[in-house]
Amino acid sequence: GINAEYGTSPHSTKIEFIVVFLTVLVVFIATALAVSTRPQMSKQSVILSATGEHKSTIVFAHGLGDEGASWAMALRQMQAALPNTKFVFPTAPVQPVTLNNGYRMTSWHDIKSLAEIDSDTTDRVDGVQASIDILHALLESEIASGIDASKIVLAGFSQGAAMSVRAGLTFNAPLAGVGALSGYLVEKALLASDLNKECTTKTKVFVAHGDRDPVVPFVAGERLAARLRELELDVEWHAYSGLVHSSSNEELRHLLAFFQSVLADNDDALEASEKEAVDNAEAL
């Protein structure tokens, strides 16, 4: 019979319920698939906790095919000089890289050719936005834990350097610093429009490159520094004679000095260093 009050039959009501249920199910499955196919970090970040009171954080992104643990070992030596700083070393998503014939490896974004690294293309590069989102989420996590953006540095090597510049200078709050070792400017034509303008007065940028780099040309590092200066950013530039696509003790000393200079929360360590310098001078 017909339901006199609503003008519908029980049978049609059941059909409507099934249609609604199937619609919700399809939406749920589509959402789950979208989330599962979105690039995610392939491993948990390696964390070096502050040895003193946690007052600042450095996030360091590795290069193509590498992982966070490698740079954790390289920068562990800095902990003594930065006792109040936590280090975070994320590992990029595993995804196909066109340059390597589609081979899947840890990569912050796709690279079609080495020539593309320093190009002026206006195109979006596959993977860049997803990796920006990953790095921004790490920064937001630190802020949620009580660390102000002005006490955070985002740095990286090679592809990680490119992403640190791209993510660090477009974050919704200006960071203390951004570091780029052997890097380049990805999506360079788009940075100006995406740039957080507060960074021009509140964020210092460290750019360093070896003049014998066979992978990311030295000129790419020079152009990165020049472009950031054109955008009125405060850039500290270092060139290393004879250095290939790698780091060096000299570069790491300069990087440490940069970290110390922008992270004023390590005043205790700086005061100790200054006292030691005074003591040494008096002993002469």
Catalytic choice (245, 248, 254, 261): 245
Is residue 158 annotated as part of the catalytic site, yes or no? yes
How far is the CA of 186 from the CAs of 89, 222, 235, in angstroms?
21, 14, 17
Is residue 62 annotated as part of the catalytic site, yes or no? no
Catalytic choice (107, 119, 131, 158): 158
Q: Are 183 and 207 in contact (CB under 8 A)?
A: yes
* Tokens 């860049």 belong to residue: 128
Write the burial class of residue 179 (CB in 10 Å: 0-12 exposed, 13-18 middle, 19+ buried): buried
Is residue 245 annotated as part of the catalytic site, yes or no? yes
Write the burial class of residue 225 (CB in 10 Å: 0-12 exposed, 13-18 middle, 19+ buried): buried
The separation between CA 82 and the C-alpha centre of its own chain, rounded to angstroms, equals 20
Residue 136: which residues within 8 A CB-CB, separation 6 or more? 167, 171, 172
User: In terms of residues, how long is the chain?
Assistant: 284
Catalytic choice (213, 238, 247, 265): 213
Maximum CA pair distance of the chain? 107
Active site residues: 158, 213, 245
